[in-house]
Structure 1
Amino acid sequence: MALVPYENHTSLPGLSKLHEPSATFHFAKHKIHIRQDWKRLGVAAVVWDAAVVLCTFLELGSIALEGSSAVELGAGTGLVGIVAALLGAKVTITDREPAVEFLESNVQANLPLDFQARTKVTELTWGESLDRFERGGYDLVLGADIVYLEETFPDLLKTLEYLSSERTVILLSCRIRYERDQDFLKMLQQGFTVEEVHYEPERDVHIYKAQKCRVKEDL
């Protein structure tokens, strides 16, 4: 969500890879080359560990992707959406307007034309102009490292509520860095059932699965 440029602190352990112009991954029997641009777009234009862990989880096949409709929120470089598409999903890959052109360049560079035909890249600012999307029209909602700015939580929840039906599976991959991250999960639990389905200790990344609570009908 936040397009925040940072100074190049390459001396800090673990951060130097974020300043590389590209990163290479192997998922879904494809080599994926992701272009990065930290100086211009900040956190929106680098691959975070949460995205890599979520891609690995998707590749394990716990969630059926073939023929499903999916939407990725705050896609950044587009790695998760690209992998979901390669695994058979029809994917709408979204981020804020300043990141869309960069995002689309990665998608076009890494998806064969037949996969691109069922993949859409478009602007989505959480909580705004949601009527451009089908209400409750997705089987899967994906988000990697999108839970970190407290001021965005209400709009993120509004967006998840709009995009989801009772059949929709939401997968959120994130680190729990601060108390506010736990607060978001509590907010999410007010309208969704939430469970942790995976934890990667090496990267300290959690994956949470959420589904909209069923509305009880009056007798």
Structure 2
Amino acid sequence: MALVPYVENSLPVLSKLHNSSAQFRFANHDLRLAQDWKQLGVAAVVWDAAVVMCIYLEMGKVELKGKRVIELGAGTGLVGIVAALLGANVTITDREPALDFLSANVKANQPPDSQGSVVVSELTWGEGLERYPAGGFDLVLGADIVYLEDTFVQLVQTLDHLCSDTTVVLLACKIRYKRDTDFLSMLKQRFIVEEIYYEKQRDIHVYKSWKLPPREDF
């Protein structure tokens, strides 16, 4: 979601983020995602949360074939691409500065035999939501999008707009700071939230959410 300036970092654990590409195999397809940390920062590298989300989707615990799916803060587009390979009709979104990069990754990794489809679209959380159908999606995906506290209100607002009573939200993230748990508390004001998967090696949690039923006021 956020575009941050490039800062050289010598930590070995972060060196993979500075590679010009990252390669994966999901849904019986070899994927090669371009990365561009210097130009787009966090929006243009594959984070562990995206990988774990793809692993979870590939488990088949969520029905994807023919489903209307939207990915928020897509970055490189890995999650949305995999969802399409698994049969979903996906709208992959991010902020305008990341769209050309995102579109190039989608084009390079969307094979002709893909069961689903992909559309790349601009979405800044909390803005221009009328361009997206209210409650118009079966599944909302977000990988490592919970990290900027200033965007939390807009993110919840966006989720509330996109979700119907039957929409499922899947969020994959690390719990790094208190603000991360604060976001989950904020989300619980409008959604039921439960942890459904934890990948210990990468320390990634996957949460499933759906809208709270309307309150009856007496």
User: Could you tell me how far 1:214 is from its partner in structure 2?
Assistant: 1.3
What amino acid does structure 1 have at the position aligned with 2:4? V
Question: Which residue pairs with 2:13 in the alignment?
Answer: 14
Deviation (angstroms), 1:115: 3.9
Q: Report what 1:86 is aligned to.
A: 85
Aligned to 2:181: 182
TM-score, normalised to structure 2's length? Answer: 0.97
Tell me if structure 1 keeps the 8 A contact 2:87–2:116. Answer: no
Structure 2 CA distance, aligned partners of 1:116 and 1:39?
34
Preserved CA contact (<8 Å) 2:86 2:115: no
Map 1:194-205 to 2 at 5 A.
Answer: 194-205=193-204
What residue number does 1:53 align with?
Answer: 52
Q: What is the root-mean-square deviation of aligned Cα atoms in Å?
A: 1.4
Distance in 2, Cα, partners of 1:117 & 1:27: 14
Matched-pair contact (CA < 8 Å) for 1:108–1:116: no
Identify the residue that residue 102 of structure 1 maps to in structure 2.
101
Counterpart residue identity of residue 2, structure 1: A
CA deviation string 1:171-192 (max 9, x = no partner): 0000000001000000000010
After TM superposition, the runs of 4+ consecutive aligned structure 1 residues lying more than 2 A away are: 113-118, 216-219
Question: What one-letter code is carried by the residue in structure 2 that aligns with 1:203?
Answer: R
Contact 1:53 1:205 in 2 (8 A): yes
Q: Is the 8 A contact 2:74 2:142 kept in 1?
A: yes
Q: How does 1:1-219 map to 2 (within 5 A)?
A: 1-9=1-9, 11-113=10-112, 115=114, 118-216=117-215
**Which amino acid is the alignment partner of residue 43 of structure 1?**
V
User: Residues 27 and 86 of structure 2 are in contact (CA less than 8 Å); yes or no, is this contact kept in structure 1?
Assistant: yes
Distance 2:95 2:180 in 1: 21
Residue identity matched to 2:130 = D
1:8, distance to aligned residue in structure 2 (A): 2.3
Q: CA deviation at 1:5?
A: 2.1
What stretches of structure 1 of length at least 5 have no aligned partner? none
In 2: Cα distance, 1:8 partner to 1:218 partner? 55
Q: Distance in 2 between matches of 1:183 and 1:117?
A: 35
Q: C-alpha distance in 2, partners of 1:180/1:217?
A: 31
TM-score (structure 1 length as normaliser):
0.96
Q: Take 1:6 and 1:177, find their aligned partners in 2: how far apart are those partners?
A: 21
Between the two proteins, what is the percent identity of the paired residues?
Answer: 64
5+ residue gaps, structure 2 = none
C-alpha distance after superposition, 1:108-162 (max 9, x if no partner): 0000246498210010000000011010010000000000000000000000000
Give aligned pairs, total: 218
